[in-house]
Amino acid sequence: MTHNRMPTPLPLFLAFCIALSSPASRAQTQLDTPAPANLAARTWFQDAKFGMFIHWGTYSVLEDGEWVMEIRTMPITEYEKLPARFDPEKFNAAEWVALAKAAGMKYITITSKHHDGFAMFDSQVSDWTIVKRTPWKRDPLKMLADECHKQGIHLSFYYSQLDWHNPDYFPRGRTGHAAGRPESGDWNKYLDYQDAQLRELLTNYGEVGGIWFDGWWDKPDATWRLDRTYNLIHSLQPQTLVGNNHHRAPNPGEDIQMFEKDLPGKNTAGFNADSKIGELPLETAETINTSWGYNASDHKFKSTHDLVQYLVRAAGSNANFLLNIGPRPDGSIQPEFVERLHQMGQWLSQNGESVYGTRGGPIAPHPWGVSTQKEDKIYVHVLDWPDPYLLLPALQQNVATAYTLKDHSKVEAARNEHGLLLKLPARASGDYDTIVVLELAH
Ligand code: H79
């Protein structure tokens, strides 16, 4: 018996070969069409609402923030003395993850490499790492990853594209001129190095929730090969959410849009003049005091009241809140942070229904407050309103019942020609947010 094999039609065969050999054609597909796992991760992310940002690195030793090398114009020769003093004997991954959970946070985003180029993980493509340069010699990201996976927290890695240490970060950008590097370097070699480190992060640490890029703004006109890097990430882990803090509208291949120190659409910090809000899931990052990396002399702590209100305003702006802590060089977390995070968790344990799993509601953010929505419930968050009556814009659907989330007591909601007039309950002192639930009629 003879096999009656169909000859492969040549054009199809050729197309197949081209598809296999050409990264560009694959690149296009991945950038344009997120994998189903990626879309599911975006939904998870939007439901999660609240994450912990962690800035921790060898800069923490100087207790003066993560820009200390640049601000003090320290040459690399000086800066390289820091890791010998970085011995975080109090680091306890289980405690960090437990703190995030106690705060009601669902994910952690930690610096794997900041602008100083120092790898906070066991990178094989660099000798400028926590494992190779510190007396501690351990890989905290591995310990944290294991603990996050154990405790059900998603872990993302911050990665600085800007690098003040690598000589191949050349030509230099706006910063890093005092580092004392030779006036030469191979830019593509630097990008290969970056991709190699990302490959390590996406291979050796289990499931990675996201890669949070920063520092692009140091060289906005450079050829960053973003397509290639983003495709590498998505080919290794399709569900990993790529975001880039470039302060611009998102690029192809990015899965979330971030805002630094501002709610989406605002620009009080000066970073977000060009940050037009796009269609992707949104996130805003903010500090508890005014510093990202540990800063011993920064005592300008925001109150729990302000932090809870920021979380609520973010949710009402359809955005997640990524709230930063900068642990100390010994691995401990200062009590001012711990106290506020516990208080936020306490508030969320009672009011989380109006935050988690919601999206920005039909009433646009106002100075008085915001709205969130989940299915047929609209949560009106009254944050700053002195009067007993609050007039909301008219809703498209009828309201069946209105009540407070706190004790389910009825709230008068009267539709009139101007909109929906709420009669608010008296506000208990110390309340951060009066939440009125509007249940829509079917
Ligand atoms: O990691 C944290 C910061 O270290 C990093 N992003 C957060 C999450 C960050 N810090 N500053 N920036 C991002 C924006 C940088 C702005 C400036 Fe500049 C750097 C202003 C002056 C020097 C960029 C370069 C704009 C002008 C020159």
* Ligand 1: lining residues by beta carbon, under 6 Å: 66-67, 174-175, 214, 217-218, 245, 260, 271, 285, 292
Question: Other C-beta atoms within 10 Å of 422: how many?
Answer: 23
> Residue whose CA is closest, atom 14 of ligand 1?
271
Task: For strands 241-244 and 257-260, give the pairing.
Answer: unpaired
- What's the gap in Å between 368 CA and the centre of ligand 1? 31
Distance, CA of 113 to CA of 161 (rounded, Å): 9
Burial bucket for residue 325 (CB in 10 Å: 0-12, 13-18, 19+): buried
> Residue whose CA is closest, atom 12 of ligand 1?
215
Distance, CA of 278 to CA of 260 (rounded, Å): 15
Listing from the earlier edge strand, what are the strands of the sheet with 210-214?
Answer: 241-244, 210-214, 154-160, 107-113, 50-54, 319-325, 282-287, 257-260
Atom of ligand 1 nearest to the CA of 247: 14
Residues in the chain: 442
Atom of ligand 1 nearest to the CA of 115: 4
E strands of 210-315, at which residues?
210-214, 241-244, 257-260, 282-287
- What's the gap in Å between 131 CA and the centre of ligand 1? 27
228 within 8 A of 195, measured Cβ to Cβ: yes
> Residue whose CA is closest, atom 1 of ligand 1?
292
Which residue from 245, 283, 295 has its CB within 8 A of the most atoms of ligand 1, so it is best to mutate? 245
Q: Which residue has the tokens 């991760």?
A: 41
* pLDDT tens, per residue, the chain with 442 residues: 334 444 444 444 444 434 444 444 444 456 779 999 999 999 999 999 999 999 999 999 999 999 999 999 999 999 999 999 999 999 999 999 999 999 999 999 999 999 999 999 999 999 999 999 999 999 999 999 999 999 999 999 999 999 999 999 999 999 999 999 999 999 999 999 999 999 999 999 999 999 999 999 999 999 999 999 999 999 999 999 999 999 999 999 999 999 999 899 888 988 887 778 889 999 999 999 999 999 999 999 999 999 999 999 999 999 999 999 999 999 999 999 999 999 999 999 999 999 999 999 999 999 999 999 999 999 999 999 999 999 999 999 999 999 999 999 999 999 999 999 999 999 888 899 999 999 999 8
Distance, CA of 167 to CA of 315 (rounded, Å): 42
- What's the gap in Å between 3 CA and the centre of ligand 1? 67
